[in-house]
């Protein structure tokens, strides 16, 4: 087989082996509010607003100290083997951390949350309406006692049990 023929065959094989759990962007159907419903098993068909993609990227790059510190202990399945995403878009919100396997959102509440109690309640109600649990951690606790925060997370029932959809 010629070199060109092998390259074409490799390209075809690669495209067949690509992750098909997420539909292509052109297949998503946007709602009037800009939210896109995704039909993916790993994210449990969570709504997604693609207009927030750049903002989520900016938040990941900027990284508040308390978020970066906690992320260092959550990434790469370091906490109970669970996979977390950082600055995850869910509907019209960007959550600090999301674990699909536990249907859990972790929000770190710092000074930016002090004047936003109503907004936080609205966001939490929306997320809970999607079947997600929301856990709030104070930024002060992450900064001053990260070991205790990690121990509390390790013993949090929602991280230790499988979600109801999986057989509990």
The predicted structure's pLDDT at residue 80: 94
pLDDT digit of tens for each residue in the chain (168 aa)?
544 444 444 444 444 444 434 444 444 455 677 665 544 444 557 999 999 999 999 999 998 999 999 999 999 999 999 999 999 999 999 999 999 989 999 999 987 666 788 999 999 999 999 999 999 999 999 999 999 999 999 998 878 765 444 444
Residue 107 φ then ψ, to 5°: -115, 130
Give strand pairing partners of 142: none
Sign of CA dihedral 100, 103, 109, 112: positive
Sorted by where each begins, the domain ranges of the chain are: 30-161
The predicted structure's pLDDT at residue 35: 65
C-alpha–C-alpha distance, residues 78 and 96, integer Å: 17
The predicted structure's pLDDT at residue 25: 46
C-alpha–C-alpha distance, residues 146 and 148, integer Å: 5
Mapped to the 3 state alphabet, what secondary structure does 36-79 carry? EECCCCCCCCCEECHHHHHHHHHHHHHCCHHHHHHHHHHHHHCC
The predicted structure's pLDDT at residue 45: 78
The answer to whether the pTM exceeds 0.75 is no
Give CATH for domain 30-161: 3.40.960.10
The predicted structure's pLDDT at residue 158: 79
């Amino acid at each position: 087989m010629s070199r060109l023929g092998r390259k074409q065959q490799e390209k075809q094989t690669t495209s067949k082996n690509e992750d098909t759990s997420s539909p292509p962007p052109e297949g998503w159907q946007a709602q009037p509010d800009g939210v896109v419903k995704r039909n993916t098993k790993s994210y449990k068909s969570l709504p997604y607003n693609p207009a927030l993609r750049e903002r989520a990227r900016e938040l990941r790059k900027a990284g508040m100290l308390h978020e970066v510190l906690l992320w260092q202990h959550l990434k790469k399945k370091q906490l109970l083997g669970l996979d977390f995403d950082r600055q995850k878009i869910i509907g019209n919100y960007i959550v600090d951390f999301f674990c699909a396997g536990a249907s859990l959102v972790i929000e770190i509440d710092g000074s930016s949350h002090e004047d936003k109690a109503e907004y936080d309640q609205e966001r939490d109600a929306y997320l809970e309406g999607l079947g997600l649990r929301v856990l709030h951690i104070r930024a002060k606790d992450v900064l001053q006692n990260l070991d205790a925060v990690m121990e509390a997370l390790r013993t949090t029932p929602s991280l230790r049990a499988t979600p109801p959809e999986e057989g509990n």
